Amino acid sequence: MELNTQHIPVMVKEVEELLALKPGALVVDGTLGLGGHALMMATAVGAGGRLIGIDQDEAAILKAKERLKAVVARVDIVKSNFSRMNEVLDGLGIKEVDAFLFDVGVSSMQIDMGERGFSFREDGPLDMRMDPSEKISAFDLVNDLSEKELARILFEYGEERFSSRIASVIVRTRAARQIKTTKELADLISGAVPRGYDHARIHPATRSFQALRVAVNHELDALSTGIKQAFERLKKNGRMCVISFHSLEDRIVKDMFRELDREGRAKILTKKPLRPSDEEASANSRARSARLRALERIQ
């Protein structure tokens, strides 16, 4: 199938305004993806500026490099997890940064590549690793975790009401055979939940797939570690934007930003998270659940 190699960046104008990038600035995109936001950032900092792009997915990096080929700013791209921000910046000899962006979650490209196993709409191996060199995949979680632990993950990371039923069906099924593909898992989940699940607003597997992805990639821990380390590297008056796509992530960002604000170290620039305009939400379905929060370091 034709891959979506032009992942449409979400809320670019809003990020541009909030980051208020100046020519010559040193900026970090912690989730380079296909380089849409990075292109805007590199263009804004211009010839005297520098962009550091980080992604844990080699496939995304290859696409981003292509997209950033023509920019005049200095560009360094690093394959790493943004939770290792200190290591990445130390490796480049960078102490302080003018602006950070984190646009967390998966890219359209990762979803569209059936073989990466993120999507119940594309059949593929149960994988979901953003960094395919990591050891544990969704296959391991689904086939090895205890029923209790599976139910906990589905409930906590997917806010799935039917977590116990789904975990029980998974465990019963795998007693007879391993569960190997995204389609097998999606079918099991569809069979485990009541008819009319969530009034058919979303596919019955949506929340469980989200939960497994979050667990496989340790997304919530990575987010809080990444924000913490990034904030310590931010210059005074430097800014940080975080775009998240589900409530658990947004809660982490909100709480961390509030704490920094309470300590008098940061000023929150978005009292409430910004949401995409109606126009953007109808043009790009992935943007619909986006929430953007920003802060400025003041101390």
Ligand X SMILES: C[S@@+](CC[C@H](N)C(=O)[O-])C[C@H]1O[C@@H](n2cnc3c(N)ncnc32)[C@H](O)[C@@H]1O
Nearest to 79 by CA among 45, 56, 98: 56
Binding mask 55-84 for ligand X (x = CB under 6 A): xxx--x--------------------xxx-
Please answer whether residues 34 and 4 qualify as being in contact, where contact means their C-beta atoms are separated by less than 8 angstroms. Answer: no
CB of 178 to ligand X, least distance (A): 27
With contacts defined by CB under 6 A, how many residues of the chain interact with ligand X? 23
Nearer to ligand X, 80 or 190 (CB): 80
- Indicate the helix (H) or strand (E) that contains 52: strand 50-55
Binding to ligand X in span 114-143, by CB under 6 A: 130
Binding mask 86-115 for ligand X (x = CB under 6 A): -----------------xxxxx--------
CB of 80 to ligand X, least distance (A): 7
CA atoms 228, 100, 86, 116: torsion sign: positive
Residue of minimal Cβ distance to ligand X: 33
Q: Are strands 234-244 and 291-297 parallel, antiparallel or unpaired?
A: antiparallel
Distances from the Cα of 134 to the Cα of 89, 149, 221, angstroms:
22, 21, 16
| Phi/psi of residue 249, nearest 5 degrees | -65, -45
Nearer to ligand X, 36 or 204 (CB): 36
Please answer whether residues 141 and 47 qualify as being in contact, where contact means their C-beta atoms are separated by less than 8 angstroms. Answer: no
Binding mask 16-55 for ligand X (x = CB under 6 A): ---------------x-xxxxx----------------xx
CB of 87 to ligand X, least distance (A): 12
CB of 162 to ligand X, least distance (A): 27
Cα–Cα distance between 120 and 279 in angstroms, integer? Answer: 27
Nearer to ligand X, 12 or 171 (CB): 12
CB of 174 to ligand X, least distance (A): 28
What value does the CA radius of gyration of the chain take, rounded to a whole number of Å?
20
Question: Any contact of residue 249 with ligand X (CB under 6 A)?
Answer: no
Nearer to ligand X, 130 or 185 (CB): 130
Nearest to 54 by CA among 109, 91, 4: 91
Binding mask 203-222 for ligand X (x = CB under 6 A): -------------------x
Please answer whether residues 88 and 229 qualify as being in contact, where contact means their C-beta atoms are separated by less than 8 angstroms. Answer: no
Cα–Cα distance between 260 and 92 in angstroms, integer? Answer: 27
Q: Report the interface residues with ligand X, using CB under 6 A.
A: 7, 9, 31, 33-37, 54-57, 60, 81-83, 103-107, 130, 222
